[in-house]
Structure formats: structure tokens, C-alpha cells
A and B are shown apart, each in its own frame.
Chain A
Amino acid sequence: MNLEIHEQLGELLRQSQKSNPRLKGWRFDLHRTDGVDIGVKNNQIGGPYSAPGYKQSISGEIYLVWDDSRYTAAKLEARVVEEFSEYLKLWERTAYHDPEGVGIYTPESLPKVELADNEAQTVIDRQVERPFELLSDGIDKLRKSGIRKVDARIKCFHDQRYLMNSDGFQLSYEQTPVDFYFIANDSYGKGYSEKKWPEAADIDRIIQETITVGKQLEQPCSTTFSGPITLILTPEMFETFMNQFVITNLYGSLVLNRQSRFTLDDFENHRPVIRDDLSLTINNLLPYRGSSYICTAEGVPGGKIALIDGGKLQSPILNLKYAKKAGLNPTPVPLGGSGFFITSREGFPQWEEMLKTIDRGLIIYSVLGMHTQDTTSGHFSLTADQCLYVEKGKIQGKTKAVINGDFIRALNHQESRLCKVAGEDNPGFVFIANAIST
């Protein structure tokens, strides 16, 4: 394995630029990744579908700027250096004309973010028993607590990232993403996704919550309902709804191509779109977070930015091309569906306190069909297959429902409420919608 593949690729591109006057600029973002991935199915580690695995790869993307406003966008793979001349021919042949395309960008400065953890690296290099132990201990605890069926998975990887461009920009840094989850009885799962090996307390919190909710979802409740009811979204479900109906509509490419709920004018006029105490921020700079990074593949630094402030639109999420088209600065982008934070200038109660106030409601732990929903409309029509029925402040048991409503309208409604959940970045969300028990 070649240890300096990024340097070789950089040198080959520099030489190509000298010998080929059509090539005006280039940048690449290369990842060298390796790590372990171990699963649990039906209470047992490994097996045919979740066998312990080791994976290594070289991947990334390259962007070339040619004369006459032509550009190349391509994925990189391990053979890129040894087959460079063939690739270069392919890249030039597949270059496309884009009068609105952008050149090479070099950031003025870059943030410092802790993203690599020695402990996680040690696990990959010489302590592979630790992910086995994490899973084995988790199975024991869940089973002893009465969970019939445990499924789980852990991934621990090391990623060496190299960015370079034709203007002399170079960045190399390491990150160590660690993800694990446990699922109880096919009904409820809780996970961890950070760039460091988890503390014992993190592991324990996740296992305990899996046990608590998993057991609650084992107790059926025979109630029936049809019509308006209070829906209580857990923080994970609130993030899922926010991603589908709000975050997606903030991407500049959709805004400027009239495929978003919002227009560029809406941002320029700071149009109010959600309730005025609510704000939405991206922050990629928190240490060891799964969604944190130093810069995007284009070189745009990670950072903290308000997309919605006091209920009013502030900025779309902009890569270089759409920043240029919008006449605005490029922004950080959320990574992997997380890294955004919903806050309210009003205080809000703890989850447990809020539950006591619910006369009739459903705690939603899972929905089927979110990816089928029209992101632009705000309307949702989903099956909530794992939920708990709450009456007079007390959990009565598991039920299922088809739920319908307008999420954007709910974010504007004065009676919708937030509630704080220990250990979570985002709050839970409580609002009125329609539901039919099934």
C-alpha cells in the first residue's frame, strides 16, 4: 500500500497542469480509511449477516477546472495514481460546460476541531477485543433486563483525510468515527455516533434507554382513537422531521432552482417561517462529534451559522456554486443528517415534566415512510409503528397509528412545545396532529 498516495496524486496533477494548458485548476479530497465492523443478530455476535469484518479503502472526490468554463467531477479510488493517465483522459472527456461553475477555493483560515481519538485508534490497531466486549456486555445487560431479542452493531474506523488544490492549499488530518447501536425486540434502538471511543457512561446510558423504552413497547394498550391528538416526538424523531421538512428546503441548489419550499427572496427578506422564539443553527465545530469537520471537500471551513433566527430565514445552505449564484458567502453544511441545533429563547421543561401535562397523546419512537414524504409541502402522512399512548400524564402502553398533519404549521403554532431530554442535543417536540389507531 502506498503511504503517500495524496502526494503522488498532487504531483501528477501539478505536472499535468504544466503540460496541459487546458487544465486551469484542481482540487481533491482523499480519504484513507480502515477499521472494524461487527454486528449482533438475534442475540448472537457475528453470524452470516453480521460477521466481524475489517475494511480498508481509498476514496474521495476530485474536481478539475478546464478552460472554456468546463469542469470535471469524479470519484477517486485506490488505482488513481497507477492509472492516472487513463483517468486524466476520462476526466477531460467527461468534463461539462457550466457557465455558472466555480473555480478553486482556498480558505483564509481553518478552525481547530478535535476529531481523532487515540483510544479509538488503539482499538483498531491492537485491541479488537474491545468492540466484541462492548457488544457482549450489552447483550448480557439487555437480556438480563428481559429484552427477548437484541440486535446491535459497532463500527470503529480511522480516516486519514487529505485535501489539496492547485493554489497550494494542503490539509491533512485524522478522524476516528465510532458508531454503535442496540435494538430491543425489533421495536426500539438507540445509538452513539461520535469521533471517539465511548465513555462507559455513554455506553450505559444507551443500553439503559434501550431497555427502558424496549420494555415499555412490550406492553400493548387496547385504546382506539381517530382525530386530533397530541404527538410527542423524541429528539431523534424531531431531528428526522426537521431534516425532511425544513433542512432539505434550505439547500441553496433547491432554493435557486425553485425546488424548495423557500425562495431566495424569502431569505433576503428574512421571511418568518417558524415561530419567533425558535432558531436553527448549524455547528460543525464541537469536538469529537460525528457531524464535525474542519472543511468541506470544496475547502469551505466548518463553522457555526444561524439558518433561521427568531423564526426568520437567515441563510440557505450554500456550496461554492450556489453561493456564487446567490451572491452570498458559502456556508458550512450539516453532515450526515445531524449537526444542527434547534433552540428557543423561551425556557422549556424537562421531558418528564412535559409528559405529566399530556391529557391524550402519542410518544412517537419510529415512523415508517418518512423518505416517501414530499419535502416541500410540510404535509406528512406516516405510519407510527412504535409509539406509546399517554393518558392523563401516564404512559398506558404500546399502540400504532397513522398520523397526519402539517409539520411547518406545527412549528408555527403557539401551542406547540419543546421539552428538554437529558443527554440529547435537540429537544423533544409536542404538537397537535391527526391520528387514527390501527
Chain B
Amino acid sequence: MKTEQYNSVIMACHDRGTARGMYFIGRIQHRTDLGIHINNGKTEEISTGSLAGMGIQVFTEEGNMGFAASDQISVEVATTLFDKAAFLAEAGSGYQSETNREVYKLKPLQRRVEVPLKYPHDSMELGEIEERLRVLNQEIGAMDSRLSVRTVLRLTNEEWRIFRSDGTDVIFNTPRAFIFHSITAKSGEETATTYANISGSDLGILLEDEPQNRLKRRSQKAARLALNLLGAPKFPGGNYKLVIDYALAKGLAHEAFGHAAETDGIDSSILGENGKFRKGMIVSDQRLSIIDGPLEGDYAYQPISAIGTERQTVRIVDHGRLNTGLADIFSAHRAGVEPTGAERVESIFHLPIARMSNIRIEFDNPIPVDQAFETITAKDLYRMLTEAGLMVSGEKVLYLTGFQGGQVNPAFGDFVFNCSAIYELSEEPVLYKPAIFSGKILSVLQSVSAALGELQLDAMGTCGKMGQGVPSCGGSHYFLVIDQNPDVTIGGE
């Protein structure tokens, strides 16, 4: 791997750390990106980018911290950065900066994790990749003259080497790939935009039949939805019984619980009390669990944390009970939980914070579904729900489909996420424009009463906590049923 060449740089950091009597964590990153943008059948741009750099976090004996980073890697740069970071750590101590000595408790780790790529990013000629994407894009546009389609393929090769004063030296890679369609239907003044995507770790998302067929089914469904949304009415806002798909369930897990369970914010999180994680609190039906952890081949895969510890799979909610947080080394002890290797960074220019990887909601004994998720219509869903006794004819139940992103304020317990569309379920479901789903962290999970279908964990996105964009992923069973709850509101007319 490319980062193996920097032993002398790491030695220079050790020398500097010894000379100055300071603990350090160093991060070296190598990253290359390729992006292809197709717009309505034409290549808009093919872009490339790369970054190679290093960041050094230093700690004084008292626990004051300084940081320095550069997009150059050499012994000279490492020495300069170390001294800059040390200077800032010492300068901060004059302003009563926060101290933290938790890193001194870490145990050394040497590991090398190289994710093997079945289809490396150069396993196909660029022209052929471009042509395949163009065809994918045109197939959607050809469905209806009112559609316009933007398609993006992004391939990222990323490699990290993380080293510490205590002899820790780990190398790992986090390759990732996605194809994303943004589909706009336009008729007169009316417009509607929907999305379809597929993600993974390599070019297999474009070369293998299974992901390609899945993407095509998703794209066709999203295109039909965009067209049907033209002229669709708005639904009256209020509190309703809901069914959400797995991508929205990922939004629920990520926004409603994941962020609030990150212990770096536990002082002000609704899941904290007097600075401690509220372990043991009942937050849901006992059939429900929320789990976060890296999955190999996943878009958000990261096996090692940004401080060089192993990332653990964490049961945040275990059968209805709040179990443990997503804990970074700096806040775990204070929050009363064990560190879980949750530290991630966007790049060498950033400081590690506690983050999710792949987060999912699992429900015991889900209702089996014998159809592929992408082929299930609102009418099919109505039939499944009534057959399972989860709704009765004439009952007002809304089906929210398509995740459009979300946001949370963990300090106040408020979260939102948006869907692409709303159906009022019946023998002949009625389509409505999307509306925000908002709720309170501490009550929404209580209302999840059933799940349908197997787990589907590829709802991808980018999480932007504290201005750092890192890949996120997750999901749930095909569908979750959420009972009417005064703390869960659908915006609308």
C-alpha cells in the first residue's frame, strides 16, 4: 500500500515526540477520486482529484492539545508540523484550554487491513465506463420526455496510516463507489425531483448484473414517482400512523438515535444525564435493536478508527434498552461507557470526532416478504399490511418512501428527515407531495410496532457533522410500521 513508504516520517515524529516529551497521534492519508457526470445523455465532466498529506495531534503531559496538518509528507514537514502543533498546545494552556489525558490509556496496535477489490477502479477502460453510464442515464430519460436526468459515478480509493507515540502503527484502506441518479420531472410550472442510487466498494456496482439490475429497478421506480408527483396534492399536516421504507428507517436510526448516542456530545445530548450516557433506559419495544458497525464492502466501511483503534460493532439499543454509546476515546470515560473506536475524520485536515458507520434498525420476527424491495408498490404494501393484520380497511395509514436527507439537534431531541413522496394507503393508494417527518428522539422509537421484510442495509449518504463530510450507510427491514404518536409529526398543507 502507498502509505507503507513513510517509515522515516513516522520515525521523525517519534524523535520529535521524545525530544519534546509529548504524546502524539499521526495520520497519513492517500486518496484519489474519479467522478463522471452525465447530464441528459451527455458527458458534463470527468474529474479527477488526489490528496496526500499528514496531520499530527499532540498532547502535553497535562493533556493540552494542538494540531497541525499539511498536504505534503516529508521528514521536514513532519518536524515542522509537530513543532507547530506543540506550540499551539502550549499556547492554549495559557487560556485554560480543555485538557484530556485519555489517550495515555490506549494500548498499542499493529494491524494492516487491505480490502481486496474484485473490480479495481481501473479494471475497465474509462471510455467504456463513461459509455455504460451514458446508457444508464439515457434509459431513464427515454421513459418520458418530461424527465431530465443527472447521473454521477464516483470512485474513491483511500488509504490511511495511523501511528502513535505508544508504537501503534496501522494501515487500512476504505475504497468506495456509488452511482447516483437525480431525476427531475417538469411540466409547465410543476417540477418534482427524486433520486436513485447504488453503492459499494468498487466498480462492481457498474459491472455486475445484480447491482445493475437493482439500480435499474430503483431508477425506473424513482422516475415513475417523479412523474406521478407532478400535480400531486399536499397532505394535511398532523400525526398519523406511518409506514417507512428502509432508507427512511436508516434516516430514523441515524438522525434520531445515532447522533444522540455519539458520546462526544453527551454533555448536551438528550441521551445523556449529568454528562453520563443513560444506559438502561427503555426507549422502544423490546423487539427493536439499533446497531452500528462496519460492514466489509459497504460504502461507509471503516475497520480502524482515526486514532488507530479497532472499530467495534455496537448495539446502541439492545432489545428496547439503551445499551451503549458510539464512544470515542476522549469522551467515553466521562460518559460512563467503554470506547468503541468510533473516531472518524473527513481528511488529514480534520480532528477525529465520534461518528456512525453503517447503522441499522433490527426488529425481531419481521413479517416475511417474498418480493424484491424495488418491485413493491404502495398497493402491494397495503395488501401485505392488511394480510398481516397491521392495518384494517379504512384506517388512515401513510406510507413514506424515498430518503431525501435529515438533520438533528441532539441537545433538544428534535430530528427531521424528508421523503420523496407520501401515499395514503388503501386498495387504490393516493399519492401526495413529500413532507417533513419530525419527531422527538425519546418517543419515536416507542411507536415502532412492526417490521416487514429482510434487512436491506445499503441506504447511502454523507453525514456532515461539525462540517466534516464522511460516508454513512445503513437501513432496516424493507418497511417499519410506526403507530400514531403526538410527538411524530408530518408536515403538510
Chain A residues within 8 Å of B, Cβ to Cβ: 1, 36, 38, 41-42, 44-59, 72-75, 77-79, 90-91, 93-98, 100, 128-129, 132-133, 135-136, 149, 186-187, 226, 253, 257-259, 261, 368-369, 371-377, 379, 381-383, 385, 400, 402-404, 434, 436, 438
Contact = CB atoms under 8 A, between A and B. Distances in A.
B91 A369 contact: no
Contacts of B53: 57, 78
Interface of B: 33-34, 39-40, 42-53, 57, 64-72, 81, 84-85, 87-89, 91-92, 94-100, 126, 130, 148, 150, 182, 184, 186, 189-193, 234, 237-238, 264, 267-268, 328, 330-331, 349, 351-353, 404-409, 411-412, 414-418, 433-436, 438, 466, 487, 489, 491-493
10 contacts: A73-B48, A78-B53, A91-B48, A186-B412, A261-B189, A369-B405, A376-B192, A382-B416, A404-B237, A434-B493
Nearest to B420: A374
Contact of A96 (B46, B88, B148, B331): B46
A434 B330 CA distance: 44
B40 A48 contact: no
A78 B77 CA distance: 12
Contacts of B34: 94
Nearest to B88: A52
Binding site of A, secondary structure by majority: helix, strand, loop or mixed?
mixed
A135 B96 CA distance: 12
A57 B98 contact: no
Given A94-B47, A129-B94, A385-B412, 11 more contacts: A46-B97, A47-B98, A48-B100, A48-B328, A49-B351, A51-B97, A59-B71, A186-B268, A381-B418, A383-B436, A400-B414
B65 A51 contact: yes
B43 A97 contact: yes
Contacts of B190: 377
Nearest to A151: B268
B265 to A, nearest CB: 9
Interface centre among A47, A75, A379 (most CB of B within 10 A): A47
A52 B91 contact: yes
Q: What 5 pairs across the A-B complex have the smallest Cβ distances?
A: A46-B97, A47-B98, A75-B49, A372-B418, A381-B491
A51 B89 contact: yes
A94 B34 CA distance: 9
Contacts of A90: 48
Contact of A258 (B81, B184, B416): B184
A48 B126 contact: no
Given A54-B84, A186-B268, A261-B191, A372 B416 contact: yes
A59 B347 CA distance: 14
Contacts of B130: 96
Contact of A368 (B45, B88, B351, B438): B438
Given A75-B48, A368-B407, A376 B193 contact: yes
B237 A77 contact: no
Given A74-B49, A436-B489, A438-B438, A259 B148 contact: yes
Contact of A44 (B42, B97, B237, B414): B97
B330 A368 contact: no
A78 B46 CA distance: 21
B72 A1 contact: yes
Nearest to A53: B67
A277 B160 CA distance: 55
Contacts of A258: 40, 148, 184, 186
Given A51-B67, A51-B92, A368 B409 contact: yes
A377 B352 CA distance: 38
Contact of B493 (A57, A94, A404): A404
Given A54-B85, A402-B491, A383 B48 contact: no
A51 B92 CA distance: 8
B401 to A, nearest CB: 14
Contact of B43 (A96, A404, A434): A96
A250 to B, nearest CB: 14
Contact of A379 (B89, B97, B267, B433): B433
Contacts of B412: 186-187, 385
A48 B70 CA distance: 19
Interface centre among B98, B192, B466, B489 (most CB of A within 10 A): B98
